[in-house]
Amino acid sequence: MPDQVLVHSRLSKKLLARIRERFTLLDTYGAPPLEAFSAAELSTVRALITAGGQPLGADVMDTMPALGAIVCYGTGYDGVDLAAARARNIKVGNSPAANAAAVADLAIALLLAVERRLLAADRYVRSGGWASSAPSPAMSAPRGLTGAKVGVFGMGEIGRKIAARAAALEMQVCYHSRSRHDVPFDYFAELADLAAWCDILIVAVRAGPDTHHVIDAAMLQRLGSGGTLINIARGSVVDQAALLAALSERTIAAAGLDVFEIEPHKPDALSALPNVVLTPHIGGHTASAHQRMQDCVIANLTAFFAGEPLVYPVV
């Protein structure tokens, strides 16, 4: 069937409903394709939908000899072996900026939760501590956001929206990225200098070999004992073992994490720390963001099956 599309990642039926109205979906529910379908069934698959962070290498591509398009549900495509796709003449597309606003919102939500100690405050009320005037170190006055120095690592669509939101909250904003951008924020040519300058470092950079573990023990040391790390990008950008040590030893003050080196994240030593707020990779998980991501997926698939260039190609 020419409009058959393999769903390579674990995505809910609800999220795929609009796409399913237009295409015949073969859903692996996250299993390797050859475990979910026979070689004969895979031999006619021409297009594939995947979550950009899920590994998708040459071995998977070779199970589908007719594969011509890999469409990422979301902005990321770091899991896709682009060289292998290029060698097989497979087009790769994504959903650029479709969830940027939602991810930026969560970055600020994590910042607020950490800086204003919202989880501790919630527990204080629920436990009766407030009613009984019980002393609580967690309820000591935080530094506040007005005038705080925010460093944004990565100035793509998500980074720009984070920076705009932080500026609207009267925080000072500077950034580092591979190149300078036409934005109303000061630029640091070196990430280490940005980390040393800021109170709050927000990771919004695209994952890749050049950013793997770039936030390491030395970078956290530069952020300092009053510093906060927020990561809404990819877990691979941060050395999680180094982050655990930095939080435990108070090398930095706190962290807010939506992404982890291994997902889903299981309860561990990091989860037990009181100075970290954790969310389950929900940055882009809003109804409006999913609507826009579905629009991009449908546009890319429609163009591909019509023999036209992808509307949103990964360049």
Q: Do 138 and 178 sit in the same domain of this protein? A: yes
φ/ψ region of 209 (left if φ > 0, alpha if ψ in -120 to 50, else beta) reads alpha
**Residue 264: C-alpha distances to residues 258, 267, 290, 312 (Å):** 11, 10, 20, 28
Q: Do 168 and 225 sit in the same domain of this protein? A: yes
Confidence of residue 172 (pLDDT cuts 50, 70, 90): very high
pLDDT tens for each residue of 22-51: 999 999 999 999 999 999 999 999 999 999
User: Residue 315 domain-assigned?
Assistant: no
Q: Do 18 and 124 sit in the same domain of this protein? A: no
CA distance 311 to 238: 32
How many residues in the chain? 315
Token pair belonging to 279: 């969310």
User: Residue 312 domain-assigned?
Assistant: no
pLDDT tens for each residue of 100-110: 999 999 999 99
H or E stretch including 200? strand 200-203
Q: Do 24 and 172 sit in the same domain of this protein? A: no
Look at residue 1 in the predicted model and tell me its pLDDT.
Answer: 47
Contacts of 45 (CB under 8 A, 6+ apart): 4, 5, 6, 26, 64, 66, 67
Closest to 97 (Cα-Cα) out of 79, 125, 76: 76
pLDDT tens for each residue of 56-95: 999 999 999 999 999 999 999 999 999 999 999 999 999 9
Q: Do 122 and 245 sit in the same domain of this protein? A: yes
User: Residue 311 domain-assigned?
Assistant: no
Contacts of 87 (CB under 8 A, 6+ apart): 58
Look at residue 263 in the predicted model and tell me its pLDDT.
Answer: 93
H or E stretch including 246? helix 240-248
Q: Do 145 and 274 sit in the same domain of this protein? A: yes
Q: Do 11 and 135 sit in the same domain of this protein? A: no
* 83-89 long-range contacts, CB within 8 A, separation 24+: 84/57, 84/58, 85/61, 87/58, 88/58, 88/61
Range from 135-139, 240-244, 278-282 carrying the lowest mean pLDDT:
135-139
Q: Do 58 and 116 sit in the same domain of this protein? A: no
Contact (Cβ atoms closer than 8 angstroms) between residue 315 and residue 85? no
Average pLDDT, integer, range 251-276? 96
User: Residue 132 domain-assigned?
Assistant: yes
Contact (Cβ atoms closer than 8 angstroms) between residue 144 and residue 169? no
User: Residue 93 domain-assigned?
Assistant: yes
H or E stretch including 179? none
Q: Do 251 and 237 sit in the same domain of this protein? A: yes
CA distance 214 to 192: 10
User: Residue 49 domain-assigned?
Assistant: yes
Q: Do 298 and 272 sit in the same domain of this protein? A: no
Q: Do 135 and 90 sit in the same domain of this protein? A: no
Q: Do 134 and 152 sit in the same domain of this protein? A: yes
Average pLDDT value for the chain: 96
User: Residue 255 domain-assigned?
Assistant: yes
Omega prior to 264 cis, within 30 of 0: yes
Number of domains in the chain: 2
- Residue 59 sits in a domain whose CATH number is 3.40.50.720
State whether residue 270 is helix, strand or coil.
helix
Catalytic site residues? Answer: 234, 263, 281
Cite the DSSP H helix spans in 11-61: 13-20, 33-36, 39-42, 58-61
The torsion angles phi and psi of 195, rounded to 5 degrees, stand at: -60, -40
Q: Could you tell me the residue range of the domain that residue 223 belongs to?
A: 100-278
Q: What is the pTM of this model?
A: 0.92
Average pLDDT, integer, range 287-303? 97
User: Residue 310 domain-assigned?
Assistant: no
Look at residue 2 in the predicted model and tell me its pLDDT.
Answer: 53
